[in-house]
Structure formats: C-alpha cells, structure tokens
Structure 1
Amino acid sequence: MQVLTIISGVVGIATSGTEVWHGIYTLPLPVMIVALLWTGARTREFFAER
C-alpha cells in the first residue's frame, strides 16, 4: 500500500503543475514507513538463510 502511495505521489509531482506541493507533502511518511520495514537488524535476521 505504501509503495502505491509513493508511486502515486511521484506521478502526481511529474504530471501536475498545480498540485506539486500535495505530492511533496504526501511522500515523506510512506517513504519512512517503507524504509523502516526494509532496513534494520530484525529484517536482515528474518530474511537470513538458516
């Protein structure tokens, strides 16, 4: 879901001249959520070969 929000925000910034600030305003939270989910010691531990 967050990845779709990121894609939507980037497309919105690229295609809309008037709503650029809305796209910029919407992007930080989903980017932080995805970054937190994909990084960290617990994530590496979860996906590590056993």
Structure 2
Amino acid sequence: NGNFDPMISLCVFGAEAMHKQATTAERLIKAGGVHENNQVDHGAGFGALS
C-alpha cells in the first residue's frame, strides 16, 4: 500500500472524532445538560474539517 496518504487518514479520523463528539453533545442536549449554542460550535468545527 504505497498510496497511503496520512492527510486523508487524519481527515477521516478527525471527522469520526467530531461525529462522536456531536453524538455525545446530542445526548447531553437531550438530557438538558448542554446549551444549544454548543451544537452550533460542533457544526462549525465539522465544517472546518471537511
């Protein structure tokens, strides 16, 4: 596998990490533990990664 691109791998890893973070945030929001503003921050972070 000489075509391995660490940047692509990093991007995928980052997207997965953001997805997990967002999922955790959604659970907290449902539990009433997080303000809606934080969900906007997650969206901005995910947009910056893609």
TM range (shorter): 0.3 to 0.5
Q: TM-score w.r.t. structure 2 length?
A: 0.41
Structure scoring higher RCO (CA < 8 A, sep ≥ 6) equals 2
Q: TM-score w.r.t. structure 1 length?
A: 0.41
